[in-house]
Structure 1
Amino acid sequence: MAGSSQIPYLLRAARGEKLERPPVWMMRQAGRYMKAYRELREKYPSFRERSENPDIAIEISLQPWRAFKPDGVILFSDILTPLPGIGIPFDIVERFGPIIDPPIRSLEQIEKLHPINPSESMPFIRTILKALREEVGNESTVLGFVGAPWTLAAYAIEGKSSKDYTIIKSMAFSEPEMLHKFLGKLADAIAVYLSYQIDCGAQVVQMFDSWAGQLSPQDYETFAMPYQKRVVEQVKATHPDTPMILYINGSAGILERMAQSGVDIVSLDWTVDMAEARQRLGTNVGVQGNIDPCALFGSKEFIRLRILETIRKAGNHQHILNLGHGVLQKTPEENVAYFFETAKQADQLLASR
C-alpha cells in the first residue's frame, strides 16, 4: 500500500485525513486573468478548440500549475462538453456565452436523445487527463468536473444563459413529467461521463449545479437534488473511493440539502459564514471554499487575514481552501500568487498569531 507521502495532498484531505494546513486550488484558476491564457486565446479564438484540442487544453490546464503550484490541477473544459455526445450540439460565442440552437423544448426532442459513449464522443478527455497525471505526479491532485443535470437542462432548454430561468421553470411547473424525463437522461449521461473521467485519471471530481441556487428549497428537492443523487449513486457504485464535491452558486439557503446528495464535500460560496456552514453541515461532510473572489482585489494584508480567518473557522479537518466562485477577469496575477503562497504557509502563520 502506498504511503501517505505518495498520495497527493488534496486527495488526502478529501478522503478525510487531518493535515497541517488545508490544500488549496481555485475554481477557474486557468483563465482570462492570466496573461499566458490571453495570449493563447488570441492564437486560438474558439473556446471549443481550446478545450477540445488536447495539446491546447493540457497547456491551459497547466498554466496555473506552473505559475503557482496549487494542490489541485483541474481539467480545462466546459460543463456543456458532454452534450453533443447525447445529441445536443452547442457553441460558445466569445463575450456572449453558450448557445444551444435549437433549444430543447419538446418531448420528441428528449426522446431522440441517446446514451453517451465518452470514449467515442470525447476521446480528447482521456488524452488530457492522462497527460495531467503524468505532468504533476504526486505533487498535485488532478480534478475532473461536470455540470449537474438541472444546470445542463437549464442551458439546453433556455438555449443560452438566463437571468430569470422562466423557460425551464415554466416547463418544471406546467409540464413536470417532460422535464423529469430529460433530467433523468442527463443524470445517466453525466454519471457515465464522470466515471469515464475517473477511469482516465481524475482523482477527485466536482459537480457544478451553478443554477440550482435559483430554485426554491422545495423545487430544489424536486428537480435538482434527486438527479444529483442519481449521479452520485451511479458513480459511487463503481468508484466508491473517489471523493466527490458539489458546488452551487447562491446556496446558503440549501446547504443541508446539498449534503443529502451523497457527495463527500460541499463547496461553499461566500454568502455563508464558514463556521456556521460547518455547524449546519455536521461532521460527516467536508467543506471547500469560501473566499469572495473580489478579496483578491484587496491589499495583501486583507488577503492574508481573510485566508487565516477562513481556515480558522473551517478547522483542520476535511477543508479545501478555495474561492466561493471562479477567479474573476482582471484579478491581479501577483495577488493570486500571494494567495497560494500564504495558503501554503497557513499552519505557520496561524501558529505565530
Structure 2
Amino acid sequence: MARHISIEHGEGGEMTHELIRDLFVKYFGHAEEAKFDAAVLDLPGSRIAFTTDTFTVKPPFFSGGNIGKLAVAGTVNDLAVSGAEPLYLSAGFVLEEGLSFDDLERIVASMAEEASKTGVRIITGDTKVVEKGSADKIFINTSGVGVVHPGWELHPEDIEEGDVVIVNGTIGDHGVAILAARGELGVATDLPTDSTSLYPLIRAVRDAGVRIRVMRDPTRGGLATTLVEITEDFGVIVELDQEAIPLKPEVEGACEILGLDPLFLANEGKVVFIVPEADAEKALAAMRAREEGRDATIIGRVVGRSEEGKLLLRSPVGSRRRIFRLLGMQLPRIC
C-alpha cells in the first residue's frame, strides 16, 4: 500500500478496498459487518442497523439535486439495502468561511424535504466553520439508525446458482450529472442526478413477498465495483449480460467522448438485488409500479460458486471477460 494518501484512495476502487482492509479493518476489526453498507447489531429486544457517510461532492449543486439531498438519500439507502427501516439521522456540517447563507439554506431545506419523503427524522448534528481555503464550501457527514424487523434479515448465504441479478434502472446517471455540472463533458446536457431515497421501492419489493438474498446501492465505483464486492464477500460467480444493462443515451455518449466505462460510474438512486429466479417477475412488477423502478430489468445471473468470487461480463458476441475493481480513478469527488 502506498505510504501517502492519494485521491484514488477515495474513489471506491481497488485502492479504497486496500485502505479499508489493510488499515481500518486491521485496527478496528469488524470484518463481517463490513460486508454490508450498514452494521447490523443485536440489542436487547431489537435488531438495528447503523451507518455513517461523509459527502464532499464537487460542485455542491448539480442538475436534479445538491449535496444535502445526496447526504440524506445516501444514508437512507445504506440502511435500506442492509435490510432496515430507516428511522433517524444525524447531520454534521463543515462550512467554509464565505459560503453563501442562501446556498446553505437551500441545502438544508432539501435535506428536510428528502427526509420527509422516507419518514426519517434528522434529530441531532454538529456544525464547524473553517477558514476560507480550508474546505470546498461545504462537507456533510450523516449517520443513520434503522430497525431490522423480524423476517427482514438478508440471507446472502442462501445465494444459489440460477438466482438473478436485478437493477431498478439506468446506471451512471449521477456520474454524468456531476461531469456536466463541472463543465467537463464538452457538450450540453441537462441529465439530472438519479439521487433519491430507495426505501419506498425496497419496501414495495418486500411487500410483494420477494425473497431478497442480498441488495446493495452501487454508488462510488459503480455497478461493477458493487458486484465485485458481493461476489468476493459471499463466494459466488455472477455473469452479467452487457446488452441487458440499461443506459441513457446521454450516459453512453459521455462515456464514448471521455473514454469512461459506465459500469464504474457512480449512481445515487439505484439498487442491485439478487433474488431467486422464481421471484424475479414479482420483484420486477413491484419495482416497475414505481417511478424510481420503471426501468427495472434482469442484468445477470449467479452461475456458480467460487471461494474468491468472480464477476464476469458476457459481450453481445458471446465472449466473456472477468471484471475487477477499478484501478486508478474515473471521477474524483462524485459523492
TM-score by length of 2: 0.27
Question: Relative to total residues, which structure has the larger helix share, 1 or 2?
Answer: 1
Question: Relative to total residues, which structure has the larger strand share, 1 or 2?
Answer: 2
TM-score by length of 1: 0.26
